[in-house]
Amino acid sequence: MPVELSYFQAVVLGVVEGLTEFLPISSTGHLTIAEHLLGLPVDANAVTAYTAIIQIGAIAATFLYFARKIGRLFMAWVNGLRDTRAREARDYRLAWVVIVGSIPVGLVGFALKDVISGPLRSLWVVAAALVLWSAVIWWAESRHDALEAAGTQRDETQLTLKDGLVIGLVQCFSLIPGVSRSGATISAGLARGINRVTATELSFFMAIPALTAAGLFELVDAWDDLKVLGAGQMLVGIVVAFVTAYASIAWLLKFVASNSLRPFVWYRVALGLVLAGALAAGLISAT
């Protein structure tokens, strides 16, 4: 049976995507919960593809918010490819950190596409991941505090390709709904001794290739399924996600400048336990 998506549902999903994509609380997990509450079949091809398509709005917000810095990194990378002297530039190295960090999640995501869009689209998985990855975020914050006290934290001028590779590998865990892409990458950055603001910005930059590739792939791969949802509904979801994501980026950068991620941990654990309780009581189904 074809999946029908109303404009109201498109707006709700756009808001959820935009608000949660860059917060360490899992956009996929929240979208899965929202889709279930809206009465949508969470494991339907059209629905899983739609969640990837509206990420384009969040990516557009990232491009706009960091347009000047993204342009600077791109030009530094291009200049470095043409001129060996330009390879000494800080931005050239940072561009390669982002590139290297973006490769693992693309390879793993493509290889495990059927698993990610199938068995992992379960609310039991979301509930477990919300709670379990919270422990990782808490540990990363504790390590951050220790390194900060010791005065051994690093900023973007001291990033290495190893940082990019490690953060990129950890980002692969975000393919599990409930883990959170930003939660995984920021935690990995903190654990590597990178200061909180730099780790958060790096998380934003690594989102660009990962989410753009996912959105374009789903657009091509599931075009026939997406057509039944309606072009207008898709456009509305993307625009709403763009507006809310832009506001979310601005707020998060201001928040992490003087706060830890621990408040998000309490929220994640509470949501995960409530969700698990509702599933165990039979109030909602897992798929």
Establish how many alpha carbons lie within 13 A of residue 80's alpha carbon, considering only the half-sphere containing its beta carbon: 16
Q: What is the mean pLDDT of the chain?
A: 88
- Give CA separation, 124 vs 34, 130, 131, in Å: 14, 10, 11
Q: Which residues pair with 154 in a beta bridge?
A: 194
- Among 232, 180, 184, residue whose Cα is nearest residue 30: 180
Q: How confident is the model at residue 88 (pLDDT cuts 50, 70, 90)?
A: confident
Q: Which tokens go with 84?
A: 């060996």
Instruction: Give CA–CA dist 256/280, Å, rounded.
Output: 35
Q: What is the pLDDT of residue 168?
A: 94
At residue 128, the pLDDT reads 95
In contact, 137 and 261? CB cutoff 8 Å:
yes
CA pair distance 162, 172, nearest whole angstrom: 16
Choice between 1 and 60, residue whose per-residue pLDDT is larger? 60
Determine the Cα angle at 49 with ends 264 and 31, to 5°: 25
- Residue 278: pLDDT over 80: yes
Answer for the pair 238, 245: CB distance below 8 angstroms, yes or no: no
DSSP one-letter code for 173: G
Q: How far does Cα 260 stand from its chain's mean position?
A: 18
Q: Where are the domains of the chain?
A: 7-280
The answer to whether the beta carbons of residues 22 and 244 sit under 8 Å apart is no
7 with 236: CB under 8 angstroms?
A: yes
pLDDT: which is higher, 284 or 137: 137
Q: How confident is the model at residue 193 (pLDDT cuts 50, 70, 90)?
A: very high
pLDDT tens digit string along 210-230? 777 776 776 666 666 666 777
Question: pTM of this prediction?
Answer: 0.89
Confidence of residue 16 (pLDDT cuts 50, 70, 90): very high
How high is the pLDDT of residue 11? 94
